[in-house]
């Protein structure tokens, strides 16, 4: 959802910014632009990917030690060169890059037009830079003071970096809700939407808080104030990120790399939290608060997209094992539907990025109502991680493919640990049962590895057969119903084939009308407890000439006879089967999208981190 990179220091800024923008391109790829200061401000911006902008920037021979860059995911105004960032003040003195949405931009724009400002783009960002220009001019202020004063007039979410042609010794940055990280190097500073553009230069970072204004200067100093102009003492974190984690490592796409990383990332999610020798599950974030969580009246899970699907699996897990009532809500609905939340509720927010605007707002609402908030987050130091009362990181490392894969399995792993932890605390499972569950969990990574290997051939074959389909149906029951939703989402996200996920039995109440020989039906048929019911569902599809692709357990004979194609995965405890059954569905969507010539990592109209409503 827009990526920002900025540099000030002793080196040539443009190559650093361009490389950083490429790392942030997963956040938006409608257009890209840079502003570099040398003798004056040079701005190059182009519709399309960073590559487009880069050709023009190299031709322009941009040089200078201070610069700002942006990759856009459009919110206000169509995708074109004019609406691309950076935007400038009317007198050309200031240039700004912005991530977020200014909600009161309309009224600000009317007021600024009344003062004679002329707008050339349709963006809220241009309103923001002209507001800063006006505040600066009226008060004859320094850039940082103008940004601070302008910030208090703005409603909405923003992370901005501003450069001043008439004082080219500093960069000024500010944020509210949208993320921004300050990187501190040797006589150089970086601002970026996340750590990925910074990590190869320095590991020392400050995660700016909401309503802070930071100044980074050419003389090697920096300072941070709040909106009341009080000096803030920054906490310098060490980035827990390695360059290899943000490169493709020989894979064609990040998504494929991330699918293949899952044996390791699931193991990382369990590291230090599970011990089969001691028959122990211990989720650090939960230990201190176990009484509050285990005695809650109910658990509410809030999330969006793929994280919502893992939340749904969490509901099945926690209700089944810990016997606590769980409700799963789309964060965007929850925050606006006047929900009943009490101090005896526990709210679990699930988010890969930790920045999704709706999920963050749902956490804020829940906190106001006195609920205890627990975060299940991937990005360390992200807003949701900081806003929640406690939580567990999934430790999946950077997920760059827009379609979430390893974050999903990481989230489901944490939810599995949580369900067992709660069940034990509530005295609901004996040691023998616990040992079975613990053993099953620790064996998941090697089984995922096996599933990936088993799938390779059938998945490629099936993808070749099906890539020209226009529709697809995904069916699953119980723990695998959310996996059907996730399989359908993966397919539509990256291959643009219309797909729907349904509880298998619910098929009879509508989707069955769609079934004919052109409708592939993916059936997750691994549930032992409902095996015969799934067999009948498959027979119902076959009776209407539907084509069935079944995910079955190794050695299955019955469904293999019925289905057109089968993909075998290893067996495990039924509760953990989503961690295995999702693998072939991720790989199928990947290969289908590749056959269709789609850009798997950057599907049209989507962005990885949705920091706007
Ligand atoms: C976007 C991404 C999805 C993701 C969803 C929620 O739509 O494209 O992959 O599942 O946001 O993101 P979060 O970071 O909160 O998990």
For residue 598, pLDDT beyond 80: yes
pLDDT for 27 equals 84
Pocket test for ligand 1, best of 609, 611, 612 (most atoms within 8 A of CB): 609
Mean pLDDT of 488-516: 90
Tell me 231's DSSP state: B
For residue 600, the 8-state DSSP code is T
Quick check: helix, strand or coil at residue 275? Answer: strand
For ligand 1, what atom is nearest to the CA of residue 359? 15
307 Cβ below 6 A of ligand 1: yes
Cβ(333)–Cβ(308) below 8 Å: no
% of the chain exceeding 70 in pLDDT = 99
Ligand 1 near 406 CB (within 6 A): no
What integer is the mean pLDDT of 42-46?
Answer: 96
* Beta carbons of 516 and 547 less than 8 angstroms apart: no
The finding on whether 487 has its CB within 6 A of some atom of ligand 1 is no
Using DSSP's 3-state secondary structure scheme, residue 296 falls into: coil
Atom of ligand 1 nearest to the CA of 493: 8
Per-residue pLDDT reduced to its tens digit, 271-327:
999 999 999 998 989 999 999 999 999 999 999 999 999 999 999 999 999 999 999
Query: Which of 49, 257, 447, 608 is an active site residue?
Result: 608
pLDDT single digits (tens) 525-552: 997 778 888 898 898 888 888 899 999 9
Q: 411 with 394: CB under 8 angstroms?
A: yes
Using alpha carbons, select from 4, 176, 155 the residue that is nearest to residue 73: 4
pLDDT tier at 79, thresholds 50, 70, 90? confident
In short, whether 125's Cβ falls inside 6 Å of ligand 1 is: no
| Residues in contact with 140: Cβ distance below 8 Å, sequence separation at least 6, in sequence order | none
Show the tokens assigned to 143: 């850039």
Q: How far apart are the first and last CA of the chain?
A: 11
**Residue range 192-205: mean pLDDT, rounded:** 95
Report whether residue 402 contacts ligand 1, using a CB cutoff of 6 Å: yes
CA–CA dist 442, 434 (Å, integer): 12
SS3 at position 60: helix
- Secondary structure of residue 207 in the 3-state scheme: strand
| Rounded Cα gap, residues 540 and 543, in angstroms | 5
- Confidence grade of residue 248 (pLDDT, cut at 50, 70, 90): confident
Taking residues 342-348, report their average pLDDT. 97
463 CB neighbour count, 10 Å cutoff: 20
Length of the chain: 613
| Radius of gyration of the chain measured on its C-alpha atoms | 25
Question: Which one has a higher pLDDT value, 145 or 382?
Answer: 145
383 Cβ neighbours under 8 A, 6+ residues apart: 177, 179, 210, 354, 355, 360
Phi, psi of 519 (to 5 degrees): -110, 100
Structure tokens at 439: 């053993």
Determine the distance separating the centroid of ligand 1 and the alpha carbon of 521, expressed in angstroms. Answer: 25
Closest atom of ligand 1 to CA, residue 305: 10
From the CA of 403, give the closest atom in ligand 1.
9
- Residue 354 alpha carbon to ligand 1 centre in Å: 9
Is the CB–ligand 1 distance for residue 608 below 6 Å? yes
- How deeply is 240 buried, as exposed, middle or buried, from its count of CB atoms within 10 A (0-12, 13-18, 19+)? middle
- Active site includes 424? no
Closest-lying ligand 1 atom to the alpha carbon of residue 379: 14
Q: Is 385 in the pocket of ligand 1 (CB under 6 A)?
A: no
Enter the tokens of residue 434: 């616990």
Determine whether the shortest distance from the Cβ of 352 to ligand 1 is under 6 A. yes
% of the chain residues with pLDDT over 90: 81
Nearest CA to ligand 1 atom 15: 351
Mean pLDDT of 496-514: 88
- The overall average pLDDT reported for the chain is 94
Structure tokens at 133: 């220009």
Q: Is the peptide bond before 86 cis (omega within 30 degrees of 0)?
A: yes
pLDDT tens profile 549-564: 999 999 998 898 899 9
- Judge whether 590 and 255 are in contact, CB under 8 Å: yes
**Residue 608 in this model has a pLDDT that exceeds 80:** no
Per-residue pLDDT for 134 more than 90? yes
Confidence class for position 612, pLDDT limits 50, 70, 90: low
Distance 453 CA to ligand 1 centre (A): 27
Best probe residue, ligand 1, of 254, 304, 400 (max atoms within 8 Å of C-beta):
304
Contact 262, 583 (CB under 8 A): yes
Is-catalytic flag, 608? yes
Mean pLDDT of the region 122-137: 96
SS3 347: strand
pTM, rounded to two decimals: 0.85
| Measured distance CA(214)–CA(184) in Å, rounded | 12
Q: In which band, very low, low, confident or very high, does the pLDDT at 73 lie, cut at 50, 70 and 90?
A: confident
């Amino acid at each position: 959802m827009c990526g920002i990179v900025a540099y000030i220091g002793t080196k040539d800024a443009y190559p650093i910014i361009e490389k950083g923008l490429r790392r942030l391109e997963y956040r938006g790829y409608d257009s890209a632009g840079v502003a570099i200061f040398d003798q004056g401000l040079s701005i190059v911006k182009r519709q399309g990917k960073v590559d487009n902008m880069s050709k023009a920037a190299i031709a322009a021979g941009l040089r200078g030690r201070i610069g700002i860059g942006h990759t856009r995911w459009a919110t206000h105004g169509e995708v074109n060169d004019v609406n691309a960032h950076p935007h400038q003040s009317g007198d050309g003195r200031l240039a700004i890059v912005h991530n977020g949405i200014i909600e009161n931009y309309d009224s600000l724009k009317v007021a600024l037009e009344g003062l004679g400002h002329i707008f050339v783009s349709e963006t809220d960002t241009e309103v923001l830079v002209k507001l800063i220009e006006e505040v600066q001019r009226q008060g004859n202020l320094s850039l940082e003071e103008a940004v601070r004063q302008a910030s208090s007039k703005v409603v909405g979410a923003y992370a901005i970096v501003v450069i001043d042609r008439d004082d080219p010794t500093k960069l000024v940055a500010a944020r509210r809700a949208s993320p921004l990280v300050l990187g501190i190097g040797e006589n150089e500073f970086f601002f970026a939407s996340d750590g990925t553009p910074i990590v190869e230069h320095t590991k020392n970072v400050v995660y700016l808080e909401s309503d802070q204004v930071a100044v980074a200067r050419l003389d090697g100093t920096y300072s941070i104030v709040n909106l009341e102009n009080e000096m803030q003492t920054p906490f310098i974190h060490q980035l827990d990120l390695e360059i290899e984690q943000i490169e493709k490592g020989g894979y064609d796409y990040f998504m494929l790399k991330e699918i293949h990383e899952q044996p390791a990332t699931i193991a990382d999610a369990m590291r230090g939290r599970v011990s089969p020798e001691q028959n122990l599950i211990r989720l650090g974030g939960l230990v201190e608060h176990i009484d509050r969580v285990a005695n809650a009246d109910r658990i509410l899970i809030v999330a969006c997209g793929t994280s919502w699907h893992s939340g749904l699996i969490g509901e099945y897990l926690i209700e089944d094992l810990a016997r606590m009532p769980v409700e799963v809500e789309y964060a965007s609905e929850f925050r606006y539907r006047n929900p009943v939340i009490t101090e005896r509720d526990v709210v679990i927010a699930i988010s890969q990025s930790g920045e999704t605007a709706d999920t963050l707002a749902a956490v804020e609402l829940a906190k106001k109502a006195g609920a205890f908030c627990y975060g299940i987050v991937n990005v360390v130091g992200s807003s949701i991680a900081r806003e929640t009362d406690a939580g567990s990181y999934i430790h999946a490392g950077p997920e760059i493919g827009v379609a979430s894969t390893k974050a999903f399995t990481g989230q489901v792993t944490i939810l599995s640990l949580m369900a067992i932890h709660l069940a034990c605390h509530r005295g609901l499972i004996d040691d023998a049962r616990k040992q079975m569950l613990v053993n099953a969990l620790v064996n998941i990574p090697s089984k995922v590895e096996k599933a990936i290997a088993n799938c390779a051939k059938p998945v490629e074959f099936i993808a070749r057969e099906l890539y020209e389909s226009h529709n697809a149906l995904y069916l699953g029951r119980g723990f695998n119903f959310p996996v059907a939703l996730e399989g359908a989402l993966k397919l539509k996200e990256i291959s643009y084939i219309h797909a729907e996920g349904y509880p298998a039995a619910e098929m009879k109440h509508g989707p069955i009308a769609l079934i004919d020989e052109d409708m592939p039906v993916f059936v997750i048929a691994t549930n032992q407890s409902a095996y015969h019911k799934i067999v009948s569902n498959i027979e119902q599809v076959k009776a209407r000439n539907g084509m069935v692709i079944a995910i079955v357990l190794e050695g299955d004979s019955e469904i293999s006879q019925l289905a057109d194609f089968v993909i075998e995965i290893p067996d495990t405890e039924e509760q953990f089967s989503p961690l295995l059954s999702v693998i072939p569905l991720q790989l199928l969507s990947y290969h289908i999208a590749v056959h269709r010539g789609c850009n798997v990592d950057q599907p049209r109209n989507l962005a990885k981190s949705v920091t706007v409503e």
